[in-house]
Amino acid sequence: MKLEKNKTAAVCDTELIVNGDKRQGKAMTNANINQILKNFNLECDVIIDKVKTSNIENSTKKIQKAFKSLNKLNERNKVRITQTYLNLKLDELNLAYEYQLKKEEEKEILREEREKQKEEAKIQKKLDKEKNKYTKENEKIDTDITKKTETLEKTTSDDEKEKLKQEIEELKQALQNNNQEIENIETKKQETGAGYVYIISNIGSFGKDVYKIGVTRRDEPQDKINELSNASVPFKYDTHAFIFSDDAYELEKNLHDKFDDKRVNKVNKRKEFFNINMDEVKQIVEKHKTEVHSFNETSEAQEYHDSKKIEKQQT
């Protein structure tokens, strides 16, 4: 470090003289400075190496404590670590902390991307299965049309001819309907951004006026909420709104940006919880009312309220 080279990371406030010799005094001073810096750097390195979100405040205090302790121990040697060097070590700690945050954010982004890809793969597989079903139906319908057409050409009964013609028309209509469904499926396969933005709450887990705003591409968006209500939270989520959008991820981002200053987690912006109230939820619903799939104002929190009743009875 530049401060260490400049001999300003630690200093001696008094010029030492050993055995009447200034050079011996200077050598001792340098040895004492090297020792105090070595001890301080070692302690700081261990603390900085282990810094993470849960211990940043405690890590700061540990470095400050090491600074004070070592300076006190070296009072008789007249050497001390400078405040400037302490500040540099605290800056180094904060840089390491920010790096850890970045790493966690990157992990979260990768996890979300894998989750998105996994969900997209499920949707594509389901669409392929549906398309395959209609394609097979069409093969059977084509065969039936061919057979009935051949029978029509051979029959001499007018009544039978009319009956066969009607059946052939019905089969052609069914074929047309299936082709339309296949076309719709192909469109859905291309619309990889279409989906639902959901707004949900969990009073028992996070308290009142805390809402999660997320997105799902599933045709049945409630399935996603049911998954979120798994063992990772003590109570089920209440669903307040599903808003359909051709670009659901963009709509989700816009809502996240809108309530950025109301995030519960101010550090990790990958978390989707916001301190907003029902009036603000209603404003979202009103703004996107033509795309709102469903809206429920009430937070039932049935399991939570039932648990509180049982808790009362037990006391």
pLDDT in tens, 133-167: 999 999 999 999 999 999 999 888 888 999 999 99
Q: Output the pLDDT for position 287.
A: 93
pLDDT of 144 reads 94
Taking the C-alpha atoms of 246, 250, 251 and 255 in order, what is their torsion angle to the nearest 10 degrees?
Answer: 170
Q: Tell me the C-alpha distance between 41 and 67, whole Å.
A: 10
pLDDT band at 14 (very low <50, low <70, confident <90, very high): confident
User: What DSSP element (H or E) covers 243?
Assistant: strand 238-245
pLDDT tens digits, 243-279: 999 899 999 999 999 999 999 998 777 889 999 999 9
DSSP secondary structure code for residue 21 in this structure: B
Query: For residues 7 and 81, is the Cβ–Cβ distance under 8 A?
Result: no
For the segment 109-128, the average pLDDT, to the nearest whole number, is: 86
- Which residues have a Cβ under 8 Å from the Cβ of 53 and sit 6 or more positions away? 97, 100, 101, 104, 267
Q: What is the length of the chain?
A: 315
What torsion do the CA atoms of 45, 48, 49, 54 make, to the nearest 10 degrees?
Answer: 150
- Mean pLDDT along residues 113-132: 88
Q: Is 129 helix (H, G, I), strand (E, B) or coil?
A: helix
Q: Show me where the domains of the chain are located.
A: 2-81, 116-190, 195-314
Say whether 242 sits in a helix, a strand or coil.
strand
pLDDT in tens, 157-214: 888 999 999 999 999 999 999 999 999 999 888 878 889 999 999 999 999 999 999 9
**Angle subtended at Cα 215 by Cα 233 and Cα 198, rounded to the nearest 5 degrees:** 70
Asked if residue 82 has pLDDT above 90, the reply is yes
Q: Look over the chain and give the mean of its residue pLDDT values, rounded to a whole number.
A: 89
Q: How far apart are the first and last CA of the chain?
A: 62
* pLDDT exceeds cutoff 60 at 5: no
- Using the predicted structure, report yes or no on whether residue 231 has a pLDDT greater than 60: yes
The mean per-residue pLDDT over the stretch 125-140 comes to 93
Sign of dihedral through CA atoms 297, 302, 305, 309?
A: positive
Q: Which residue has the higher pLDDT, 251 or 300?
A: 251
53-56 long-range contacts (CB < 8 A, ≥24 apart) are 53/97, 53/100, 53/101, 53/104, 53/267, 56/93, 56/97
Read off the pTM: 0.62
Res 80 pLDDT > 70: yes
Cβ count near 211 (within 10 Å): 27
Could you give the CA distance from residue 175 to residue 142 in angstroms, rounded to a whole number?
8
Cα–Cα distances in angstroms (integers) from residue 2 to residues 25, 27, 89, in the given order: 24, 21, 13
Q: What residues have CB less than 8 Å from 255, skipping those under 6 apart?
A: 197, 213, 284
Alpha carbon distance 201, 211 (integer Å): 5
Residue 47 predicted with pLDDT over 80: yes
Q: How confident is the model at residue 67 (pLDDT cuts 50, 70, 90)?
A: very high
Q: Give the Cα separation of 195 and 200 in Å (integer).
A: 16
Q: What is the pLDDT of residue 221?
A: 92
What are the residues facing 214 on neighbouring strands?
198
What does the pLDDT read at residue 1? 52
Tell me how far the alpha carbon of residue 209 is from its chain's centroid: 20
Distances in Å between the Cα of 16 and the Cα atoms of 26, 27, 109 are 6, 9, 58
Query: Given this model, what pLDDT does residue 18 score?
Result: 62
Query: What is the arithmetic mean of pLDDT over 40-51?
Result: 95
Instruction: Write down the pLDDT at residue 21.
Output: 66
Q: What is the pLDDT of residue 115?
A: 83
